[in-house]
Structure 1
Amino acid sequence: MLLGLLLGACRDADKASGTALFVTIDFPTTLFIDQLVVSGSVGESGIGPYVLPGEPGRLLTNGETFRILLPPVENETPAEVSIEGLHEGTRVAQGSSSVQVRKGYEVELTVRMESAPPVDPNFCVDCPSGCCMNGYCTTSTFQTCGTGGISCTSCNPATADACSQGGFCACGPNPACDPIASDRCDKGRCRCGTKDACPSGLQCVGGQCQCTPSSCSGCCDGNTCVPGNQRDRCGTGGQGCRNCGFLQCRAGGVCG
């Protein structure tokens, strides 16, 4: 499906090339529209979405036109065109219209747009098996992972090797690897160096599991993360444990 001309197409049936729709937009000028998102269908084929113009440069005027060149179709094939009007990237208007196509001819179509609430770019309705990108339902893939119309996530190849059917980035049958506990997803398993991912409280550093401030909320007793609330192992924030001697280990990992 090709958009034959940009905004400002002239109606000239003698010069029309093949089967086409000649679309006129009709909207209140108080909406301050500077771009259009055009989509739709003809028979079982989809139209768009197309963005006109590619970059906003001026406010559009009521009555502007454009042409959509269609693939070969039979007479009286139904066509529907839906248009969203944008202002500075936010949807402010929407409308749709339908017509029956004439094979080898250009058919006129007027789409009336009315004021519409802005689209939430992070959630798409009626998108059960895909995710939402810039307000549009998108097929769930490794680069656009998600289902149920939630915001799409781009999976990180360092921590995942697939987008699961449930719409989350995964390493094998499990969720994506924790970048603190591992350094890669390798053949469906989270790894740190040549071994499995580090246990809770340890960070994968240079292929080795270590107790660090990034991995341990208590204190580090050598290379072991402990709660840090004991007299002989007192501390917090992944720092080295302290021995309080005859003092108590108080809240916040402080001897006193």
Structure 2
Amino acid sequence: MMRGAAESIRWGWRLVLVGAVLLGACRDPAKASGTALYVTTEFDPSLLLTQVRVWGDVDGQPHFGPQVLPEKAQRVLNSGETLRVVLGDVPNGVRAEVNVEGLRDGTVVARGTGGADIRDGYEVEVSLRLEPTTPPDPGTFCVGCEGCCIQGQCTPSTFNTCGTGGIACTACDPNFASHCDGRGFCACGASPACSPRTADRCLLGQCRCGNSQACGPGQQCVSGQCVCSPESCAGCCTGNVCDVGTTADRCGRGGVVCQKCDKNRSCTAEAVCG
């Protein structure tokens, strides 16, 4: 399999750009790379993209990127190019958001975003379309900047201007963060900023949902209570616990109540008793 020149490892993630057709021919979608995002980018070929800049966030984890792929422009990229973000120890069911900028001769000419819910141990697909940006936004990225970028100006990383490596600055939310971590992401105590999906506040360096700890995978914080719902659970719900939903005892998907299949039936690949 032929791969692009760039491969980066930071904070437990690895990001690789691979030719779309070549990768697609040998990809096993079940467990191709462990816990990972398989990102497909589509764009107008007339944009003549030569590189992409990739970064993103996973709920409750440090952000990944930014990373430019390939490191050196070698050819005009084709619509349908793919890249893989290999993640570390990420809980099942958390949300991941990916941002991609298309570059031509180092200038941003297109941008797109996409997201998906993580499946622990599996590769999930993220498809996004890069739309032209005219004129290019000078505030998105500052070259050679140790802090973050505001309107094309490199700014020191602070609570209200958080970021490193020249990415666009983020204002930390005082409801969900206590400070800007030295690595350039908003944090609550020693952990990344609380996710609004699983917590409603950062209190004394701890993410909390109501009077309890932050909600677990497959749950969301609603009015100070951790609940299992269609918005939070990809499998099925047993009370307020999200189950994978692939066994005969607990079958279902999309956050519905888990079903117990009859003795002569099993839970199918579509997560229904059959």
**Separation (CA, whole Å) in 1 of partners of 2:151 and 2:272:** 49
Identity score, percent: 56
Cα offsets for 1:139-168 (capped at 9, x unmatched): 212121101111111212221111111110
- How many pairs does the alignment contain? 140
Counterparts of 1:190 and 1:252 in 2: how far apart (Å)?
35
Alignment RMSD (CA, Å): 2.0
Note the C-alpha offset of 1:196: 1.1
- Quick one: structure 1 residues 226 and 121, their matched pair in 2 at CA, closer, same or farther if it must change by over 3 Å? same
2:139 to 113, 116, 121: 121
1:165 maps to 2:182: yes
Listed one character per residue, the Cα deviations across residues 60-84 of structure 1 (whole Å, up to 9, x for unaligned) are: xxxxxxxxxxxxxxxxxxxxxxxxx
Paired residue type of 1:220: C
Structure 1 letter corresponding to 2:248: R
Change in 2 beyond 3 A, CA 1:118/1:225? closer
Q: TM-score, normalised by structure 1?
A: 0.51
* TM-score, normalised with respect to structure 2: 0.48
Q: For 1:188, give the aligned amino acid.
A: G
Query: Equivalents in 1 of 2:271, 2:201: separation in Å?
Result: 33
Return the alpha-carbon distance in structure 1 between the equivalents of residues 219 and 137 of structure 2: 43
CA distance in 1, matches of 2:136, 2:197: 38
Please state if 1:241 is matched with 2:258: yes
Alignment of 1:38-77 (within 5 A): none
Cα deviation 1:159-203 (Å, max 9, x = unaligned): 111111111000011110121111100111100111111122221
Shift of 1:118: 6.3
Instruction: Indicate yes or no: 2:147 matched with 1:147.
Output: no
The CA deviation at 1:121 is 2.5
Partner of 2:222: 205
Residue ranges of structure 1 left out of the alignment (5+ in a row): 1-89, 91-116
Q: Structure 2: which 5+ residue stretches go unaligned?
A: 1-107, 109-134
Provide the rounded CA distance (Å) in 2 between the counterparts of 1:155 and 1:208.
24
Distance between the aligned counterparts of 2:195 and 2:184, measured in 1? 17
Structure number, greater radius of gyration: 1
How many Å apart are 1:120 and its aligned residue? Answer: 4.0
